[in-house]
């Protein structure tokens, strides 16, 4: 069972704007679409909602649906 936290993404892409920044609730890594993700070779400008299904936190392997919207 997934625990819901205030601001949690929970897999709902409709809640995200293209420039939304999200933060891992486990290690506090922030995904910024303007920067992308070097570890997963995600190009700058890629919105969180367009990340591949297999993508997870590059620092702690936290699942996508556990990220929280921060901006």
Say yes or no to pLDDT of 18 above 80. yes
Q: Please tell me the distance from the alpha carbon of residue 26 to that of residue 4, in angstroms, as a whole number.
A: 13
In this prediction, residue 1 has a pLDDT band, given cuts at 50, 70 and 90, of very low
How many domains are there within the chain?
1
Mean pLDDT, to the nearest integer, of 41-59?
96
Per the domain annotation, does 65 fall within a domain? yes
Domain interval for residue 33: 9-71
Per the domain annotation, does 1 fall within a domain? no
Per the domain annotation, does 41 fall within a domain? yes
Q: What is the pTM of this model?
A: 0.85
Q: What is the CATH number of the domain that holds 37?
A: 2.20.28.10
Q: Please tell me the distance from the alpha carbon of residue 31 to that of residue 21, in angstroms, as a whole number.
A: 6
Per the domain annotation, does 18 fall within a domain? yes
Per the domain annotation, does 32 fall within a domain? yes
């Amino acid at each position: 069972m997934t625990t819901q936290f205030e601001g949690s993404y929970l897999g709902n892409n409709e809640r995200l704007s293209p420039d939304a920044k999200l933060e891992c609730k486990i290690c506090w890594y922030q995904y910024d679409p303007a920067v992308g993700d070097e570890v997963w070779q995600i190009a700058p400008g890629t919105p969180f909602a367009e990340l591949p299904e297999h993508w997870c936190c590059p620092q702690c392997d936290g699942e996508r649906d556990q990220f929280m919207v921060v901006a």
